[in-house]
């Protein structure tokens, strides 16, 4: 089965590619590498011992999308491609709406033209906003507090309307909470471009001496220790859940949404303590003011996906910290330099062979 993974070189996308390949799927990636690296796909191929066809392109490029769908006979899509930083979205909101909505619309249009009727969408817990203190179920009202979250909710609404228009369409939105960790091998992990926006990579950079202090955004939240509480879920659990969702696209048509989380809330200071224990280090930190768009608590009620599919997250916070730290120690400056970054460079690499419109990964 040919699966198109948009944003497949990103943090969650690349880990999902590993799991898809492990399960025997054929994977086609489309990514513009605006916040990712082709080196992640080299790592995916190395871990899985399988090939990936990867197209370097923007999802809004209609001609390229048509070419891709025609050449590869795509049977289902997992859609990760999006801008994803909450605080950044408050500074450049139009960019976030322009990218996230346009990419989803262009992809949906291409799927309809090429009669592809199965989609797993990368949803977000951020759509629930900061109203809820207890674990959040899927039927709670959405109250997003920032442009990123609103763009994710709008994309779900677009896809729900598409399902109403095309009753044969099956869409599953996986609203994951806070993915963290890395692949157990240490070869694949989170490699943000620029300053990290996610809390665990931020801690890693301080631990490695690349940043002087870890900043905690606010100590006056309505939480037990005053710092923001999140539900952290291992990225490989998130990857596995996307593959399980692929197996359930045929259960019924229409739009469905499921939370991905553990049901356990962890504060920033609790996470800092857990990582320091795993790494055997003391991380210097300072508490500064709250940041625009942030909320105090987001904890999943993950019971629906367990009830419907018998699936639940299996890895704990210690595994997330341990795996992320292993990757960071192995890649203190991110993925190795010298990676293929453009089609013209692809012919000079042992890890990629250029194919019109993209790359063919041949690392085995």
Mean pLDDT per 10-residue segment, the chain (364 residues): 96 98 96 93 95 94 96 96 93 97 97 97 96 94 95 98 97 97 96 81 92 94 95 98 97 98 97 96 94 91 98 97 95 67 34 45 40
pLDDT at 353 (0 to 100): 44
Domains annotated for the chain, with CATH where assigned, are 2-361 (3.40.50.720)
pLDDT at 193 (0 to 100): 76
Dist CA 361 CA 300 (whole Å): 37
pLDDT at 362 (0 to 100): 41
Say how many C-beta atoms besides its own lie within 10 A of residue 364's C-beta.
9
Write out the two tokens for 245.
Answer: 């969702």
pLDDT at 292 (0 to 100): 85
Write out the two tokens for 166.
Answer: 């095309």
Name the 3-class secondary structure at 136.
strand
pLDDT at 59 (0 to 100): 95
Q: Is 7 exposed, middle or buried (0-12, 13-18, 19+ CB in 10 A)?
A: buried
E strand or H helix that includes residue 328: helix 317-330
pLDDT at 344 (0 to 100): 33
Q: 361 - beta bridge partners?
A: 52, 352
Strands 76-79 and 2-6: parallel
DSSP structure class, residue 187: S
pLDDT at 336 (0 to 100): 64
Dist CA 53 CA 17 (whole Å): 11
Nearby residues of 307 by Cβ (< 8 Å), 6 or more positions away: none
Q: 171 - beta bridge partners?
A: 119, 255
**Axis crossing angle, helix 147-165 with helix 93-113, rounded to the nearest 10:** 20
E strand or H helix that includes residue 2: strand 2-6
Active site residues: 148
Q: How many H helices and E strands in the chain? A: 12, 16
List phi, psi (to 5°) of 53: -90, 125
pTM (two decimals): 0.92
pLDDT at 192 (0 to 100): 79
Sheet holding 297-298, edge to edge: 266-267, 229-230, 297-298
Shortest CA distance to 78 belongs to which of 174, 192, 166, 155? Answer: 174
DSSP structure class, residue 230: E
Write out the two tokens for 71.
Answer: 């050449």
pLDDT at 350 (0 to 100): 40
| Contact (Cβ atoms closer than 8 angstroms) between residue 200 and residue 180 | yes
Nearby residues of 312 by Cβ (< 8 Å), 6 or more positions away: 302, 305, 306
Q: Where are the alpha helices (DSSP H) in 81-176?
A: 86-91, 93-113, 147-165
Question: Which single residue is written with the structure tokens 């359930």?
Answer: 248
Task: Give a three-class secondary structure readout of 11-34.
Answer: HHHHHHHHHHHHCCCEEEEEECCC
Name the 3-class secondary structure at 122.
strand
């Amino acid at each position: 089965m040919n699966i198109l993974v948009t944003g497949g070189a990103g943090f969650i996308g690349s880990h999902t590619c590993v799991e898809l390949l492990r399960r025997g799927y054929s994977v086609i990636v489309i990514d513009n590498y605006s916040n990712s690296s082709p080196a992640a796909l080299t790592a995916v191929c190395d871990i899985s011992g399988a090939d990936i066809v990867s197209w370097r392109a923007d999802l809004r490029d209609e001609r390229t999308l048509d070419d891709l769908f025609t050449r590869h006979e795509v049977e289902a899509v997992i859609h990760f491609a999006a801008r994803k930083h909450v605080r950044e979205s408050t500074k450049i909101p139009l960019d976030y709406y322009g990218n996230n909505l346009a990419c989803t619309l262009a992809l949906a249009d291409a799927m309809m033209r090429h009669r592809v009727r199965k989609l797993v969408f990368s949803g977000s817990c951020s759509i629930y906003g900061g109203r809820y203190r207890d674990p959040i179920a899927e039927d709670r009202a959405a109250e997003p507090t920032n442009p990123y979250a609103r763009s994710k909710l709008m994309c779900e609404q677009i896809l729900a309307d598409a399902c109403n228009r095309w009753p044969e369409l099956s869409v599953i939105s996986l609203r994951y909470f806070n993915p963290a960790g890395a692949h157990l091998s240490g070869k694949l992990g989170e490699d943000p471009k620029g300053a990290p926006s996610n809390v665990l990579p931020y801690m890693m950079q301080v631990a490695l001496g690349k940043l002087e202090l870890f900043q905690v955004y606010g100590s006056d939240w309505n939480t037990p220790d005053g710092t923001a509480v999140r539900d952290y879920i291992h990225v490989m659990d998130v990857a596995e859940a996307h593959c399980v969702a692929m197996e359930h696209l045929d259960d019924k048509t229409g739009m469905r949404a499921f939370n991905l989380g553990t049901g356990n809330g962890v504060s920033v200071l609790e996470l800092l303590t857990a990582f320091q224990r795993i790494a055997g280090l003391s991380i210097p930190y300072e508490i500064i003011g709250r940041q625009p768009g942030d909320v105090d608590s987001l904890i999943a009620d993950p019971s629906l996906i367990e009830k419907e599919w018998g699936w639940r997250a299996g890895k704990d916070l210690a595994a997330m910290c341990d795996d992320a730290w292993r990757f960071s120690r192995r890649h203190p400056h991110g993925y190795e330099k010298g990676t293929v970054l453009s089609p013209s460079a692809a012919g000079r690499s042992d890890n990629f062979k250029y194919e019109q419109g993209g790359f063919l990964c041949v690392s085995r």
